[in-house]
A and B are shown apart, each in its own frame.
Chain A
């Protein structure tokens, strides 16, 4: 009996190859930090929080729908990495942060991340979990309405949305735009990217949200993982070009290889 599942052999080989690239680059990054392409949206975070401080208004943050047990979990974790950084900025600037929660499993993690920011800054007494981390609803449009309600009542000066978003993306972006919030949005869900692109001030597209944690932390080994994934991208590009050329000359080699 075959130990490898038919149809997933090539995917496993690619996964192992990408793992090798990433782990190797993590080690290499210890010697020299890889350079990053500038991500304007992430560089603008201090400006966004600073604006909120000047206007004496809160910063709103949300990670959209999805949960930690589904395929969009990486987007959620990527959003939480940015939340940790934004919370630190908010504490340093003396700005209130509101994290709107759709998925209750995230609450303990988010509470810890924000609490850690207050404790690190030596202001644990200023942390109020129920004010900063707000569970709204685990129903899409109830959650969407609640976020719109927060926007209308509390008028955040900045709105940051990073994670898996669905139909509510446009509702959020438009509502916060109407109340004059400066906005940063990021998602790997292709259908929502155009909505964010036409309304928000800053945008993170697809893989950029996964790189956010590494970009903001300036941790050499995290940065190494980004370079490792770029090697994976190069392999994908080579396969695409070979696939196009070989299909054009009538060979199904690449197609068969991918289907192994």
Chain B
């Protein structure tokens, strides 16, 4: 493994071991609050994470400015006016935030009247997307989709109070589907997911995870059996 890959792997390994030790063990010296020395180390690691994230946000902002200013200078059809608007909004927010403070009335008004309202609007539009998705999903195409239609309609009916008044059995069936069938399936997915995360963690700590370090060379694969 090259030095470029070895250093991140070593950092990840050491940090992961310290964080796990803090979760499972109480190692001396222990403070009066019952915290071991690893607690302070983990707090420091978390602070480093916050600092690095803040730097990364600056990196993101540079990327944003570079990408959109190129579109403005090239007058990219269908894009440049949005890019210009984005940069204007970023400048307005930055100027008001820096000059008046992020907790000032002026900044709060600007945030609530624009960003907050727009976010709520996008979130609300989810209702329409769910309806159109449901319309396509509830079609009787084969056995699996048939089961899906029946189960979906029972759960839908269970959540409609008028129907459960006249057909109380729908409430019982709906509860059985949600509380027994769905919950057990969800727990199966959760257990599998947790084991998968542990496995991925080990691969990351041993430098074999491609998502973290990029593709492994044949030499780095260690000459094991190849498919």
Q: Which residues of A contact B (CB under 8 A)?
A: 1-5, 8, 11-12, 15, 18-19, 22-23, 26, 29-33, 67-69, 74-75, 77-85, 88, 101, 103-105, 107-109, 112-113, 116, 120, 129-131, 133-136, 138-142, 144-145, 149, 153, 167, 170-171, 173-175, 188, 190, 193, 195, 198-199, 205-211, 213-214, 216-223, 225-226, 228-229, 232-233, 236
Q: If A4-B25, A140-B119, A222-B203 touch, does A74 touch B196 (CB 8 Å cutoff)?
A: yes
With A15-B198, A23-B202 given, can you name 4 additional A-B contacts, CB distance below 8 Å?
A: A3-B26, A107-B60, A217-B216, A229-B195
Interface residues of B in 128-156 (CB under 8 A from A): 129-130, 132-134, 136-137
B26 & A2 in contact (Cβ 8 Å cutoff): yes
Q: Pick from A1, A69, A171, A206: contact of B49, CB below 8 A.
A: A69
A233 & B224 in contact (Cβ 8 Å cutoff): no
A174 & B129 in contact (Cβ 8 Å cutoff): yes
- We find that the number of chain B residues with CB closer than 8 angstroms to chain A is 72
A1 & B209 in contact (Cβ 8 Å cutoff): no
Cβ of B96 under 8 Å from chain A: no
B63 & A213 in contact (Cβ 8 Å cutoff): no
B126 & A30 in contact (Cβ 8 Å cutoff): no
B203 & A133 in contact (Cβ 8 Å cutoff): no
A173 & B133 in contact (Cβ 8 Å cutoff): yes
Q: If A18-B195, A139-B119, A220-B226 touch, does A77 touch B189 (CB 8 Å cutoff)?
A: no
Q: Pick from A82, A101, A105, A210: contact of B200, CB below 8 A.
A: A210
Q: How far is the CA of A2 from the CA of B34 in the complex (A)?
A: 11
- Residues 40-63 of B, flagged 1 when their CB comes within 8 A of A and 0 if not, give 000000100110110011011101
Q: Pick from B66, B118, B123, B212: contact of A167, CB below 8 A.
A: B123
A170 & B24 in contact (Cβ 8 Å cutoff): no
Q: If A84-B211, A138-B57, A190-B190 touch, does A199 touch B133 (CB 8 Å cutoff)?
A: yes
Q: How far is the CA of A208 from the CA of B197 in the complex (A)?
A: 11
Kindly provide the distance from the CB of B29 to the nearest chain A CB, expressed in whole angstroms.
11
* Interface SS majority for chain A: helix
Kindly provide the distance from the CB of B115 to the nearest chain A CB, expressed in whole angstroms.
7
In the complex, chain A residues whose CB is within 8 Å of the CB of B59: 104, 107-108, 135
Q: Which residues of B contact A (CB under 8 A)?
A: 20, 23-28, 30, 46, 49-50, 52-53, 56-57, 59-61, 63-64, 66-67, 70, 78-79, 82, 115, 118-119, 122-123, 125-126, 129-130, 132-134, 136-137, 186, 189-193, 195-204, 206, 208-212, 214-216, 221-227
Q: If A18-B198, A144-B122 touch, does A195 touch B203 (CB 8 Å cutoff)?
A: no
A33 & B225 in contact (Cβ 8 Å cutoff): yes
B226 & A210 in contact (Cβ 8 Å cutoff): no
Q: How far is the CA of A145 from the CA of B114 in the complex (A)?
A: 14
B63 & A84 in contact (Cβ 8 Å cutoff): no
A219 & B189 in contact (Cβ 8 Å cutoff): no
Interface centre among A75, A190, A199, A218 (most CB of B within 10 A): A190
Q: How far is the CA of A69 from the CA of B195 in the complex (A)?
A: 19
Minimum CB distance partner of B86 in chain A: A146
Kindly provide the distance from the CB of B79 to the nearest chain A CB, expressed in whole angstroms.
6
Q: How far is the CA of A81 from the CA of B202 in the complex (A)?
A: 15
B196 & A211 in contact (Cβ 8 Å cutoff): yes
In the complex, chain B residues whose CB is within 8 Å of the CB of A81: 209-212
The 9 closest A-B pairs by CB, nearest first: A220-B224, A210-B196, A81-B211, A104-B60, A207-B196, A80-B211, A135-B60, A198-B137, A207-B192
